[in-house]
Amino acid sequence: MDASGNEHEFHFRSLLLGEQLSLEAFELAGDDDSAGYRFQILGDAESEPFALLGKSIQKMQRALAAKHLRSDAGGLQIAEMMVRGRVEWNGDETACQPCVIIDGRRVEWNDFGAMLLAFEGWQFRLEMLDPSDEA
């Protein structure tokens, strides 16, 4: 369950990447492979898979408990002073711009830019994190 009380179903995949074991959790969100929540955690190749699963579930619960977007009469807005998500390809080969996934939902780049206008004149920090890092 997320912060709004919505249920999410996750599928898990484990991959052996040389000397690391990757455990990935991804939500199937309709026909759009880029939408939905995704999580990854890395451990040593000799790691106990169930221990990684436990850490992964804790990471997922922390992320699902946070809400970064809110809806109001003007549409989607950034809920607080910080927003977390991931960058994805928008699916248009002719356009050279991404989309972002925030709270498990796809937000087009122009729509995200419109949300940022509420903070015109403010400073910001953009930090890129590996999917296995804690956001």
- pLDDT tens digits for range 85-95: 999 988 888 88
**What tens digit of pLDDT does each residue of 6-46 get?**
899 999 999 998 999 999 999 987 666 667 999 999 999 98
CA distance 91 to 97: 9
The answer to whether 34 and 109 have CB atoms below 8 angstroms apart is no
pTM of the predicted protein model: 0.86
What's phi and psi for 15, nearest 5 deg? -135, 135
CA distance 75 to 79: 12
